[in-house]
Amino acid sequence: MIIKSYELNKIDLNKNTLFLLYGQNEGLKNEIIKKCFIDKFKEKIYRFDEKEIIDNNSDFFDGILSRSFFEEKKLFIVSRVTDKLNNIIEEILEKEIKDVVIVLNASILDKKSKLRKFFEKNKDIVCIPVYEDNAQTLSTIARDFFRINKISISQETINLLIDRSRADRGNLINELNKIESYIKTHKNISSEEIIKLTDLAENYNVSELLDNCLSKNSKKTINILNENNFSFEDCILIIRSFSNKLKRLQKIQKEYKKNKNLDTVIASFKPPIFWKDKEIVKKQVNKNDLEKIENMIFKTNDIELLIKKNSDCAINIVSDFIINTSK
């Protein structure tokens, strides 16, 4: 059964237990997972990566099959899902497991995907396609935020904020959170202060760092790292921004394989690539093949977990990763 991302009120956790979210809009997927699932469970939340389940599914099955008389419903969130999980999901559905909700988070699943077809055709399980945001959607998110917080702001500043967020919902939400934290201790905030607060999101430093890294310009990458005193919060943003850039490159590489004309792929890419970024993106595509990009995407997820567990040395972990990747 298909439910659009704007029809989330149709989700019934008492009736439906299996959910598939797919698409490259990680920011919106994370919002949906938090609002519709995590916030309603709070405890008894278990997270798995598809690779963990494929390599050894006993922990996963033990978790969903074990039941306690006093235990409430449990939530399982599985990340980086592909068609490899299809047989296991079919097996779970056949068992008619109760008191468990399973959410599968996948990236791109084309129309031929077995997992996508399975969810779309079965009326007892839910498939939620999550599409990329456009400038209008992001502008609405920002305007609503400023309206709720009673902040007067020009559309020009909102456009700048979206531009500095690289037209990515996750980045935009991060920047709005910065502003929200600021206004808790300040009665007012000006457009100039907003611009200063979101300097990192403009990410001249971060974006330039990652662009040089992906272009294999090691010398420039090291210089940028040495010139900036990045904090733990910056490290999280760097890794998430890197992941977003890699996912964009992944999509471009896949289209490039089909189209064979890189200029055409970049010109027609959605969301649009800023004109000033087109040449650097072409260079990055030529420097990184699809296999290398996908390996780096997995690595960024591992790095984020690692720096969260070792916040004291986060900058060292991120720096080593960025420098090694730039070679």
Of 268, 306, 301, nearest to 107 by C-alpha is 301
Is residue 140 located within the same domain as residue 124? no
Domain end among 129, 146, 166: 129
Is residue 24 located within the same domain as residue 108? yes
**Contact assessment for residue 80 and residue 107, using Cβ atoms and an 8 Å cutoff:** yes
**Contact assessment for residue 32 and residue 126, using Cβ atoms and an 8 Å cutoff:** no
Of 4, 45, 42, nearest to 21 by C-alpha is 4
Whole-model pTM? Answer: 0.55
For 2, which DSSP code? B
The pLDDT of residue 214 is: 95
Does residue 280 fall inside a structural domain? yes
Rounded to whole angstroms, the Cα distance separating 197 from 176 reads 10
| Per-run averaged pLDDT (10 residues), the chain, 327 residues | 79 81 85 86 81 86 74 84 90 81 88 91 89 82 88 79 74 82 74 67 69 92 83 84 90 89 87 77 93 93 89 90 93
| DSSP character string of 8-57 | GGG--TTT--EEEEESS-HHHHHHHHIIIIIHHHSSSEEEEEHHHHHH--
Residue 68, domain extent: 8-129
Is residue 125 located within the same domain as residue 141? no
Does residue 2 fall inside a structural domain? no
CA distances from 232 to 199, 297, 302, 323 (A): 16, 20, 16, 18
The pLDDT of residue 232 is: 80
Secondary structure of 150-218 in the HEC alphabet? Answer: CCCCCHHHHHHHHHHCCCCHHHHHHHHHHHHHHHCCCCCCCHHHHHHHCHHHHCHHHHHHHHHHHCCCH
Is residue 224 located within the same domain as residue 283? yes
Domain end among 150, 170, 199: 199
**Contact assessment for residue 45 and residue 75, using Cβ atoms and an 8 Å cutoff:** yes
Is residue 288 located within the same domain as residue 306? yes
**Contact assessment for residue 129 and residue 170, using Cβ atoms and an 8 Å cutoff:** no
Does residue 1 fall inside a structural domain? no
The pLDDT of residue 6 is: 74
Is residue 59 located within the same domain as residue 167? no
The pLDDT of residue 249 is: 93
